[in-house]
A and B are shown apart, each in its own frame.
Chain A
Amino acid sequence: MDQALIIEWVIKAVILLLFGLTGFAYLTLYERRALARIQVRIGPNRAGPWGLLQPVADGIKLIFNQELIPATADKVLFVLAPIITVLPALIIWAVIPWGRQVMIGGREINLYLADVSVGVLYLTAVTSIAVYGIVIAGWSSNNKYAMLGGLRASAQMVSYELALGLSLIGPILMAGSMSLVDIVEAQKGIWFVLPQFLAFIIFLLAGLAEINRAPFDMPEAEQELVAGYHSEYSGMKFALFFMAEYIKMIAIAAIAATLFLGGYRLPFIDIPAAFEPLVLFIKILILLFGMIWVRATLPRFRYDRLMAFGWKVLLPLALANVFFTAVILVLKG
């Protein structure tokens, strides 16, 4: 491991983090504009051209917000919780490939931070850490609504994680590898969304539930729980929860694109590696629009139905999908 390699990794990591953080900021704008269009409005267009400076304005406002820590809160955990929530959302990006190799200055550079042989396992492991942040936030706030929001979040995220994990097994079986790079390369001919359509749908539904997006945003159901687990949070700490939610939105879109939509590849044709991140980016944008579109359309589910749906519908379907995929693969030899 030479010095140049370390520098290369650091640069790539910084780029990924910057992408995550600015992506979060601009996803809020994207969501607000898209929601506005669906509701036949225009959306924020005052700050800067086309409202492009709106996230900056929001950020400045949030930084200058007063930060309150409730007197009876558990202060250490209260401060720690938003950090625990954000970190997994950021480190997910380490294993997502956004291209093959490019030559820069006579040096071959992989367009991914790490090609872990158990990449998918890493993804599921990291995403489930976030639930701790949310539960700790709910508990340490010492507020009944926050507590209930945290409880709901833990129940929901643990339940949907099963379906989420099982839906990932389809592509793994078809690619014969858990490395995300191998999975993308296995989609050279046909994207996994066609043979694994059911898994794709299950992944999107469970993914929405996993990141607490509408219509599965039970942990922050305003009408019942004020704001759920982040009721007591303000200023930048509050922004961190939002940051986690939105970065995870992007990450779920990226994972869905990688596992089911051919990642950075276009079907059948090879494009120069330098354009591959752009392909992945466009796929992420389309999937993100889908999430916003669902939010604009569907009302929140009732809590018991949410749990019933996860356990009685998604989980059996995901299991059946794994079973049939395995059987067909074995029969094909």
Chain B
Amino acid sequence: MAFPERARVQEILKGMWITFVSMFEKPVTIQYPEVKRPVKARFRGRHVLNRYENGLEKCIGCSLCAAACPADAIFVEAAENTDDVRFSPGERFASTYEINMLRCIYCGYCEDACPTEAVTLEDNYELSFISRAEAIYTKERLLVAVPDNGAPTPQIVEPGLFNRAVPMMADPTD
């Protein structure tokens, strides 16, 4: 035949067989909203502000995260703790903590800069907003829930229990 020098009938049938067999493979599609693929251990998703087990906030309002941020996405304003109105075990706490998720590049430098492991990038990647204002995550939205045996902040504590500017820290494990 003049035409099919290369696209020989045999080759076409071979191709047809391959596509036919592939019909019976399990689809690779992940049905996203129902099925979510777990993220990797060191995935950098949305930030959270962590708490200690007693419910106190880890953030001491030092603004090192804001200083480390290459995208200038973090704004921190600190205020003094007192024993009657105590947010964190340190001398100060973050009275305002805002991250603009539209500016954030998820580099994780804030996490590296944080002296108390207060801000960490977790596994949540489902960020969507319908306005620019909504893209600014405030402290309330970033803070994790109060642990079971902890109390919500601000707490009233005995005087003299917390007298360090920066709380004691164990060596990081990760």
Real complex partners, A and B? yes
Q: Could you tell me if A37 and B2 are in contact, using CB atoms closer than 8 angstroms?
A: no
Residues of B within 8 A of A37 (CB): 23, 27
Residues of B within 8 A of A286 (CB): none
- Bound together, the chains give a CA A40 to CA B28 distance in angstroms of 6
Q: Does A57 have its Cβ within 8 Å of any Cβ on chain B?
A: no
| Contacts A309-B3, A312-B2, A313-B3 given; does A38 touch B12 at CB 8 Å | no
Residues of B within 8 A of A40 (CB): 22, 25-28
Closest to B16 in A: A297
Which chain B residues (1-57) contact chain A, with CB distance < 8 Å? 1-4, 12, 15-16, 18-20, 22-23, 25-29, 31
Q: Does A293 have its Cβ within 8 Å of any Cβ on chain B?
A: yes
Q: Could you tell me if A297 and B15 are in contact, using CB atoms closer than 8 angstroms?
A: yes
Main secondary structure of the interface of A (DSSP, over half): helix
Q: Could you tell me if A38 and B1 are in contact, using CB atoms closer than 8 angstroms?
A: no
- Bound together, the chains give a CA A39 to CA B28 distance in angstroms of 9
Closest to B20 in A: A293
Q: Does A332 have its Cβ within 8 Å of any Cβ on chain B?
A: no
1/0 per position for A303-324, CB-CB distance to B under 8 A?
0010011001100000000000
Number of A interface residues, CB 8 Å? 17
Q: Could you tell me if A308 and B3 are in contact, using CB atoms closer than 8 angstroms?
A: yes
- Min CB–CB distance B172 → chain A (angstroms): 43
The bracket for how many chain B residues form the interface is 10 to 19
Closest to A313 in B: B3
Q: Does A296 have its Cβ within 8 Å of any Cβ on chain B?
A: yes
| Contacts A305-B3, A313-B1 given; does A41 touch B15 at CB 8 Å | no
Residues of B within 8 A of A309 (CB): 3-4
Q: Could you tell me if A296 and B19 are in contact, using CB atoms closer than 8 angstroms?
A: yes
Q: Could you tell me if B29 and A298 are in contact, using CB atoms closer than 8 angstroms?
A: no
Closest to A305 in B: B3
Q: Does A14 have its Cβ within 8 Å of any Cβ on chain B?
A: no
Residues of A within 8 A of B18 (CB): 297
- Bound together, the chains give a CA A313 to CA B5 distance in angstroms of 12
Residues of B within 8 A of A41 (CB): 27-29
Residues of B within 8 A of A293 (CB): 16, 19-20
- Bound together, the chains give a CA A165 to CA B26 distance in angstroms of 42
Closest to A309 in B: B3
Residues of A within 8 A of B15 (CB): 297-298
A-B contact pairs, 13 of them (CB 8 A): A37-B27, A38-B19, A38-B20, A40-B25, A42-B31, A293-B20, A294-B16, A297-B16, A297-B18, A298-B12, A308-B3, A313-B3, A313-B4
Q: Which residues of B contact A (CB under 8 A)?
A: 1-4, 12, 15-16, 18-20, 22-23, 25-29, 31
